[in-house]
Chain A
Amino acid sequence: VNCAAVRSLAHAYLDGELDLVHQVEIDQHLRECDACARFYESQRALKTVVATDAMRLTPPPQLQDRVQHAIRRRRSIAPQWIGLAAAAVAIVIVTALLSRGSERNAIGQEVASAHIRSLMAHHLTDVASSDQHTVKPWFTGKLPFSPPVSDFKSEGFPLVGARLDYIDSRPVAALVYQHGQHVINLFEWPSSNANANASEKVETREGYNVLSWSRDRMNYEAVSDLNVAELRQFAQLVRGAR
């Protein structure tokens, strides 16, 4: 190893993040090279003044009460809201049954509402990244399933991020794509129907186009103000990538 390599690995070495082979190489180099040894010594000195409990900023004692209070209040309000929300959902379902008589409608409505909510200030993404290898692992531990994630930048539909959302009373993956100035929300969650391979359905909700399909035991819902033709093009990319 040369000095430049040692300098760049010195941090991982110092932080105990280096594999044994590199550790041994660096040990050896530090014994032989004064300049690098001095560099490493300074890094270690810096760590001793930064990585100390003196740098830990502790909250005022009342913060615990304040947070606990907020949590419990949210909890105690929740049942009432759930009651109201249930009533609202019931109305939506009844309306849906009256108009077209399908459970599909309630989901279409939820998907459109989730899309609208996401467009309000700062709700679009929990993780902002165009890298599918960043976005996919971000869901680990947050969802009971692993959602497929792909970027379609070269096809004009770049991935911009992702967040968690709730559809049909379960947590779902929401992937956010862009096409020109238009935002597309792609919702993904496992299908309860084992051999579900439903073909594409289109509907319009609150002025947004909703495209839904199922494949390989996953439900997909793509929502956007894009026109149906472009949204279909996007859906084809998604199916092609899986």
Chain B
Amino acid sequence: VSASHFEQAVLPHLNAAYNLARWLTRNDHDAEDVVQEAYLRALRFFGGFRGDDARPWLLAIVRNTCFDWMRRNRPQEMTESFDEEMHVVIDDRETPEASLLRRADQAMVRRAIEALPITWREVIILREIEGLSYKEIADVAGVRIGTVMSRLARARAKLMELLAAPGGEVSS
């Protein structure tokens, strides 16, 4: 496997890699460090890569590098975020008005996504921004498709709650 082959296949996905790392770490510098480490890991594993789309493959490595990095440097965030039972009652809640959601400005939306637990945030980013299929998300996150679906439902319910709240402010 030549270095240029690796660069051609994997380097074009740098923006996707950074986007995921930046959303998961919520910090510019940490995201850059994680992306560099992920690329070096990818280089090591590239010999075993057999697919034709390197993007989900790379995103899985970025994701794992991020989670390793977070466990090492910010373990408290990881324990909080693994709380899958975080309180979201989907059905009993009044559905917020669509018009209220459409009014949310970009800064509000960003803050709301950042306020999600990391395992919910990753499915939102992979689905809504990277456009990955449920199956691809399941592979990247190392969970079942059913888990992807339930995290997505909870994440969206939480985002609605945050964005349609009176005054629309997200406390962090």
Judge: A and B partners, yes or no: yes
Q: CB of A230 within 8 A of chain B?
A: no
Cα distance A38–B101 when bound, in Å? 12
The secondary structure that dominates the B interface is: helix
How many Å from the CB of B4 to the closest CB on chain A? 10
Query: What is the number of contacts between chain A and chain B, taking CB atoms within 8 Å?
Result: 144
Q: CB of B59 within 8 A of chain A?
A: no
How many Å from the CB of B47 to the closest CB on chain A? 6
Contact in complex: B18, A75 (CB < 8 Å): no
Contact in complex: B14, A128 (CB < 8 Å): no
How many Å from the CB of A120 to the closest CB on chain B? 12
Instruction: List which B46-64 residues lie within 8 A (CB) of chain A.
Output: 47-51, 57, 64
Chain B contacts of A66 at CB under 8 A? Answer: 32, 36
The interface on chain A, measured as residues whose beta carbon lies within 8 A of the other chain's beta carbons, has a size of 55
Which A residue sits closest to B3, measured CB to CB?
A75
Of the listed stretches A83-91, A129-137, A206-214, chain B binds: A129-137
16 interchain pairs, CB-CB under 8 A: A42-B95, A46-B101, A46-B160, A50-B113, A56-B19, A67-B11, A68-B7, A71-B39, A71-B40, A75-B43, A122-B72, A126-B64, A127-B142, A128-B142, A129-B142, A134-B143
Beyond A71-B3, A72-B3, list 7 extra A-B contacts (CB 8 Å): A45-B99, A51-B128, A54-B106, A55-B129, A64-B14, A67-B14, A74-B43
